[in-house]
């Protein structure tokens, strides 16, 4: 059953695992496998039970962000060890290390066809890589502080956000087309399924929705006391899930901005949110060292 604005109040926890401080969660394209990044590395779990299926070890330090390509054959990871790593998920897949950042890498994203990778981090730079060759193709500069989130929007338009309280939209030539502003550090970005809307979560306690084509703010939610940490659009586009320093997971109606439902279950801030591809599961990762999966009862 798809999680929607009509039934979100029926969400319940179906599985839980304990890991180190969880920084990111990502579903495989078929929705059967959930990958979790933490201070202990990267693990893979069966969707419904969260039974451990495998581990990826190699980063010398915490893994900050992960992304999976559209056909599920490759995973990219960002590490505090200043490296980006590409992991082949098919049998016999190899690990490749991409070096170029001079400080911790906080975020990675793959474009729609999985051929282009963007990485960003504490050195205030965004680097674009050709996945097949592993070569850096562009260096984007403009942020004035650490970059904490990166995501591809429509086409190869790239959005980045960070400690300088800005969101920047970059075109395919690496030119900054728009600068959007929060009142404090922007922690996380998400894009709607129709690629028309960008959501941002900030330390200023707000979550904001932006029209990607016009770069205009279309909705502001005073979402989480102490700051917002993560955002995710539901598969059907009716819901926006948010989380923050108040330990809450909140669900908002995208068109009206109305708060529909709140879950208070994690013991520390929820740092990662992810709906699976068919919208039947929501995964949450927290500083309380747990990953939890939610489903409609």
So what's the pLDDT on residue 154? 86
Q: Is the pLDDT of residue 290 over 80?
A: yes
So what's the pLDDT on residue 241? 98
Per-residue pLDDT band for 48 (boundaries 50, 70, 90) equals confident
What is the DSSP pairing of strand 270-275 with strand 239-244?
unpaired
Record the tokens describing residue 206, joined without a space: 């707000």
So what's the pLDDT on residue 291? 95
So what's the pLDDT on residue 155? 82
So what's the pLDDT on residue 111? 96
Mean pLDDT of 88-105: 89
So what's the pLDDT on residue 90? 78
Lowest mean per-residue pLDDT among 33-47, 87-101, 156-170, 198-212: 87-101
Find tokens 């949110």 and name the residue. 273
So what's the pLDDT on residue 108? 98
Per-residue pLDDT band for 26 (boundaries 50, 70, 90) equals very high
Average pLDDT, the chain: 95
> What's the CA gap between 59 and 260, in Å, rounded?
40
CATH number assigned to the domain comprising residue 201: 2.130.10.10
Mean pLDDT of 266-292: 96
Residue 2 within any structural domain of the chain: no
Q: Is the pLDDT of residue 20 over 90?
A: no
Q: Is the pLDDT of residue 202 over 80?
A: yes
State how many domains the chain has.
1
Residue 3 within any structural domain of the chain: no
So what's the pLDDT on residue 72? 94
Residue 278 within any structural domain of the chain: yes
Mean pLDDT of 69-78: 96
Do residues 245 and 229 make contact, with C-beta atoms less than 8 angstroms apart? yes
Q: Is the pLDDT of residue 207 over 80?
A: yes
Phi, psi angles (nearest 5°) of residue 163: -65, -15
- The predicted-structure confidence for 119-137, as pLDDT tens digits, reads as follows 999 999 999 999 999 999 9
Q: Of 45, 34, 41, nearest to 20 (Cα)? A: 41
Residue 1 within any structural domain of the chain: no
Kindly give the residue spans of alpha helices, DSSP state H, lying in the chain.
none
Domain carrying residue 78: 8-296
Q: Is the pLDDT of residue 67 over 90?
A: yes
Q: Is the pLDDT of residue 19 over 90?
A: no
Question: 3-state SS of 21-33?
Answer: CEEEEEECCCCCE
What's the pTM value of the predicted model, to 2 decimals?
A: 0.95
> What's the CA gap between 183 and 293, in Å, rounded?
32
So what's the pLDDT on residue 194? 93
So what's the pLDDT on residue 92? 66
């Amino acid at each position: 059953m798809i999680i929607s604005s009509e039934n979100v109040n029926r969400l319940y926890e179906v599985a839980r695992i304990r890991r180190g401080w969880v920084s990111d969660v990502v579903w495989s394209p078929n929705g059967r496998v959930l990958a979790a990044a933490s201070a202990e590395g990267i693990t893979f779990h069966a969707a419904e039970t969260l039974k451990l299926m495998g581990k990826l070890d190699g980063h010398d330090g915490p893994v900050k962000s992960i992304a999976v390509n559209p056909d599920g054959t490759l995973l990219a990871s960002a590490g505090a060890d200043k490296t980006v790593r590409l992991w082949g998920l098919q049998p016999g897949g190899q690990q490749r290390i991409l070096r170029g950042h001079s400080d911790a890498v906080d975020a990675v994203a793959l474009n729609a066809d999985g051929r282009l990778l963007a990485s960003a981090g504490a050195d205030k730079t965004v680097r674009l890589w050709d996945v097949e060759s592993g070569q850096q193709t562009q260096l984007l500069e403009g942020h004035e502080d650490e970059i904490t989130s990166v995501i591809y929007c429509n086409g190869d338009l790239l959005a980045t956000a960070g400690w300088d309280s800005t969101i920047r939209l970059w075109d395919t030539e690496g030119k900054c087309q728009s600068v959007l502003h929060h009142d404090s550090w922007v922690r996380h970005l998400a894009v709607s399924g129709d690629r028309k809307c960008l959501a941002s979560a900030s330390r200023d306690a707000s979550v904001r929705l932006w029209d990607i084509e016009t770069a205009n703010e279309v909705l502001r939610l005073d979402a989480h006391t102490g700051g917002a940490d993560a955002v995710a659009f539901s598969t059907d586009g009716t819901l926006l899930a948010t989380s923050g320093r108040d330990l809450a997971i909140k669900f908002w109606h995208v068109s009206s901005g109305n708060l529909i439902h709140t879950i208070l279950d994690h013991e520390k801030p929820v740092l990662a949110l992810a709906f699976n591809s068919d919208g039947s599961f929501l995964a949450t990762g927290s500083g309380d060292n747990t990953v939890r999966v939610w489903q409609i009862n």
